[in-house]
Amino acid sequence: MKIGIMSFAHLHAEAYIQNLRAIPDVELLGIADDDAARGEHFAQAFNARYFDSYAALLSAKPDAVLVCCENSKHRALVEMAADARVNVLCEKPLATTLTDARAIIEACERARVKLMTAFPMRFSTPLVEVKARLDANEFGRVYAFNATNQGEAPLQQRAWFVNKDLAGGGAVMDHTVHLADVLRWYLQSEVVEVYAQTNRILYAKEIQDTRVETGGLLMLTFANGVFATIDCSWSKPPYYPTWGGLTFEMIGERGVVLVDAFKQNLTLYRHDLKRAAWNSWASDANQAMVEDFVAAIRDDRPPRVTGYDGLRALEITLAAYESAERGEPVRL
């Protein structure tokens, strides 16, 4: 199976190269990028073939592509791939508008190609374990979640994350969708109301002209009566051991379950960084996600995370922005 990567704007593209090369009988066909300097740099760094246009990459007839461009450009690249009858794994968020997200899904459905949204937390070993126990009714009825997806503000590399036109927003757009998807997956229920507050307290000087928020707190109400909070802030300092993390407390009838998706790590103190750093020894959720995408193509089945899942997570995120602007809950 031949797979290409469209754009290296998103930092996950670097990990995906290693993920693809670890799968038997999968060939990294090459990479394309509308930023030629960036594309050529990563092609050389990873000893990969560089295509001077997305059209050239698609003309080489890949079986699939991984779309890793800026958020607002997802639709154009996914539609190009679908028109070429190429399967797509698209970075999160699926799009920055519901119109674009629906167009992405429709394009892939018309072309009869697979569409997967990049939500690796669906493949996180601790999250999968707790989900299995939840489905086995070990925790009884679930009442609420208290969740965090925090991180460092992306002010250095990949500065487009703080460009509203390219990213669609700031910390809320960046860090809401993962937990929105996890909670939908755990509860098998849809969000019916969103209430949110956002701020620009952190990194205010650095992002003063970017029109994006650096902090957010959401409350979600689900159709089954469960409610959840999400702290999606860029609240980790630049000297934190890693970019951030994903955690939640699940409050149930038989107690509270604490989950930390990135807890399995060693702490290293490095002279070159002059600070502590985490070296993970856990299973690789990205690897499992890419392997499921490949398996979905080989087995001609839907991927475990679909474009519809990406649409629903985006719907929750955009409702959070609307709520913060209006100062009141938003019904979905």
Write down the domain spans for the chain. 2-113, 121-283+306-331
**Which residue in 183, 152, 143, 168 sits closest to 69, CA to CA?**
168
Query: Between β-strands 27-32 and 2-6, what pairing exists: parallel, antiparallel or unpaired?
Result: parallel
pLDDT of 153 > 70? The answer is: yes
Which DSSP state fits 69?
Answer: S
**Which residue in 154, 200, 150 sits closest to 178, CA to CA?**
150
CA distance 234 to 206: 13
- pLDDT in the model for residue 272: 86
Per-residue confidence band for 141, with pLDDT thresholds at 50, 70 and 90: very high
CA distance 258 to 268: 25
Instruction: Check: CB of residue 306 under 8 Å from CB of residue 32.
Output: no
- Token pair recorded at residue 44: 């050389």
The CA angle 80-86-89, to the nearest 5 degrees, is 90
Helix residue spans in 97-242 (DSSP H)? 98-111, 125-135, 164-167, 171-175, 177-187
**Which residue in 90, 149, 76 sits closest to 306, CA to CA?**
90
CA distance 251 to 186: 13
pLDDT of 156 > 90? The answer is: no
State mean pLDDT over 150-155. Answer: 86
Of all residues in the chain, what percent carry a pLDDT higher than 90? 84
Secondary structure class of 140 (helix, strand, coil): coil
CA distance 151 to 262: 12
**Residue found by looking up tokens 């089945």 in the block:** 301
CA distance 227 to 225: 6
Please list the residues that pair with 30 across neighbouring strands.
Answer: 4
- pLDDT in the model for residue 238: 81
Per-residue confidence band for 157, with pLDDT thresholds at 50, 70 and 90: low
What does residue 100 show for φ and ψ, rounded to 5 degrees? -65, -40
**Residue found by looking up tokens 């799009």 in the block:** 95
Instruction: Check: CB of residue 121 under 8 Å from CB of residue 180.
Output: no
What b/e readout covers 215-226, taking b as 16+ CB neighbours within 10 angstroms? bbbbbbbbeeeb
End-to-end distance of the chain based on CA atoms, in angstroms?
40
Per-residue confidence band for 209, with pLDDT thresholds at 50, 70 and 90: confident
At the topology level, CATH places domain 121-283+306-331 in: Dihydrodipicolinate Reductase; domain 2 (3.30.360)
CATH of 2-113, one of 3.30.565.10, 3.40.50.620, 3.20.20.140, 3.40.50.720: 3.40.50.720
The CA angle 105-109-114, to the nearest 5 degrees, is 85
- pLDDT in the model for residue 279: 83
CA distance 267 to 261: 16
pLDDT digits (tens, 9 = 90+) for 90-140: 999 999 999 999 999 999 999 999 999 999 999 999 999 999 999 999 999
- Token pair recorded at residue 194: 């969103």
State mean pLDDT over 37-64. Answer: 97
